[in-house]
């Protein structure tokens, strides 16, 4: 997993609540046994609509997505996080994420950053005037070139995973003696 220290990029805005993972990547693409290449299927049905937000030319190449509450609800399919990452996103800003999606995103190297609605509204406004943001995981803040700075708090373990691109399994295997002792205790 590639480390994610700081991203400066233009921003795509998808201002919808409760975006479910069925929309992010529909079921017909879950038959693949590969982990890569899902970007082509991102929002597959919504992309057919010429007015769909992510088709706007000014959002092309955006690595930051600003979206609505409860993003990634529904199915546990990690393919949703893979599709967003493969499409080019590295950071998601939303009032909240569904629990399983949040975890899947971190393990995909995609930062799910939760911000209160007023802070997001301010960022959306700033971006509408000048479309660029920096999301700095080291400083735990979002910055707009015109001076707006919004701090955020990521779960410390998730932040470390993202900052250093760590392998979760290797970290847990360092606690193998504790796992073995637990198994022995329980018989």
Partner 1 sequence: MGTTLFEKIWSAHLVDDEQPPLLYVDLHLVHEVTSPQAFEGLRLAGRRVRRPDLTVATMDHNVPTEPGPVRDPLARQQLETLARNCEEFGITLYATGSGREGIVHVIGPELGLTQPGKTIVCGDSHTSTHGAFGALAFGIGTSEVEHVLATQCLVAAKPKTMRLRFEGELPPGVTAKDMVLGAIGQIGVAGGAGHVIEYAGPAIEALSMEGRMTVCNMSIEAGARAGMVAPDETTFAYLRAHGVEVRPEWRELRSDPDAAFDSEVVVDATTLVPQVTWGTSPAMVAPVDGVVPEPSSPEERRALAYMDLRPGTPIREIAVDRVFIGSCTNARIEDLRAAAAVVSGYRVAPTVRAMVVPGSAAVKRQAEEEGLDRVFTEAGFEWRQAGCSMCLGMNPDVLAPGERCASTSNRNFEGRQGAGGRTHLVSPAMAAAAAIAGRFVDVRELG
Where does this chain bind partner 1 (CB under 8 A)?
Answer: 16-18, 20, 22-23, 26-28, 30-35, 45, 69-70, 73-79, 81, 96, 98-100, 103-104, 107-108, 155, 157, 167-169, 171-173, 175-176, 178-179, 181-183
Please state the closest distance from residue 14 (CB atom) to partner 1, in A: 12
Nearer to partner 1, 24 or 133 (CB): 24
CB atoms closer than 10 angstroms to residue 36: 9
H, E, C per residue of 45-103: CHHHCCCCHHHCHHHCCCCEEEECCCECECCCCCHHHHHHHHHCCCEEEECCECHHHHH
Please state the closest distance from residue 27 (CB atom) to partner 1, in A: 5
Please state the closest distance from residue 169 (CB atom) to partner 1, in A: 5
Nearer to partner 1, 9 or 161 (CB): 161
Nearer to partner 1, 60 or 179 (CB): 179
* Contact in structure between 65 and 14 (CB atoms under 8 Å): yes
Please state the closest distance from residue 135 (CB atom) to partner 1, in A: 22
Chain centroid offset of residue 63 CA: 10
* Nearby residues of 146 by Cβ (< 8 Å), 6 or more positions away: 126, 129, 130
């Amino acid at each position: 997993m590639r480390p994610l220290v700081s991203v400066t990029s233009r921003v795509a805005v998808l201002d919808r609540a409760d975006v479910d993972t069925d929309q992010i990547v529909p079921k017909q693409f879950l038959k693949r046994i590969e982990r890569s290449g899902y970007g082509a299927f991102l929002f597959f049905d919504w992309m057919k609509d010429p007015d769909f937000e992510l088709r706007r030319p000014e959002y092309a190449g955006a690595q930051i997505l600003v979206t609505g509450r409860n993003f990634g609800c529904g199915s546990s399919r990690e393919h949703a996080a893979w599709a967003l990452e493969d499409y080019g996103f590295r950071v998601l800003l939303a009032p909240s994420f569904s629990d399983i999606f949040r975890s899947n995103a971190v393990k995909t190297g995609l930062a799910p950053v939760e911000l209160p609605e007023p802070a997001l509204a301010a960022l959306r406004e700033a971006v509408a005037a000048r479309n660029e943001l920096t999301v700095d995981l080291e400083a735990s803040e979002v910055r707009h070139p015109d001076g707006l700075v919004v701090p955020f708090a990521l779960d410390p373990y998730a932040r470390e995973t993202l900052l250093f691109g760590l392998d979760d399994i290797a970290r847990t295997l360092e606690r193998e003696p504790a796992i073995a002792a637990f198994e022995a205790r329980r018989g």
